[in-house]
Structure 1
């Protein structure tokens, strides 16, 4: 499965939201699995969108045919856009499905990992982080995905911001030490996203 992560700095919030609803046109596209997104909790002008495709070839075909028509509705509403593509590696918890209707927030972590530490980083994700997240109240599902250049995306969906906040407060520092995250990761950025139900496709 291909995971697409789009991050925009939005200049015209209302226009952007109206354009976002037009992405409902993705339904029926061959290989399309789902899309959702919302606003950053820390930076109110930043929007995140997550899209899922069965494979790179289905995605490339969509980009060549229909993308520009759907994207036209949002031109001029944002100042900058960053798009990254990742290949799904494994679930966080079990049975990942790209659905957003039961989640309130998405936590996204983007990690650039030292090349010689990639295998260790992926192993720690499976052995340390996954069980901790899977056992946290309110954590619904997630995935671990990889891009070229030792880049990784960890996406987790939570029933509420409060439940995600509790997990952060109680566990993250201790888990980081156990997983030797500082030794593995060259750069880490992330965000917590309040999902907008009207953006879900």
Structure 2
């Protein structure tokens, strides 16, 4: 009798679902960018792209949370994930989804001129409150392995963001480049943090 394990079959239904939803999200982002090309700034385009990445990543993590083997591979653990880890992954997926909404919502609200800025900002305030609470709770409950990964991602994000900010700010002060807004900087830092997490912090993080 052979002891060779059969290779795991890919979940075709889940993959097709992710492809369809990803294509729909991509089409929506393209429609928004093309439809308002005259009003969208470069940082708005980056924010839309970041939001799209958050939506797709959240969808993938959420669907994988129902497959213990796939989620274990995602989290880089040897054994199948536990129900507790699956629930944590689903919560993480929801927060990634909300982050995407927070990134694209100011752009959409501005272009649609609805709702009023104060009400539009209330959505961002709610997101920030939930994000802070979740991060603090997860930081106290998670293990040292996750904390170290989170520290690595945070450090590298800080390093690259600060280096780029120093380089650009000095050029701006000398009149060599145009000024950036707080929105521009926030979008770039968020994009940097996502790229850093994908390169440096593969696996699970606390935030």
TM-score, L = length of structure 2 = 0.28
- Relative contact order higher in (CA < 8 Å, ≥ 6 apart): 1
Greater helix content: 2
Greater strand content: 1
TM-score, L = length of structure 1 = 0.28
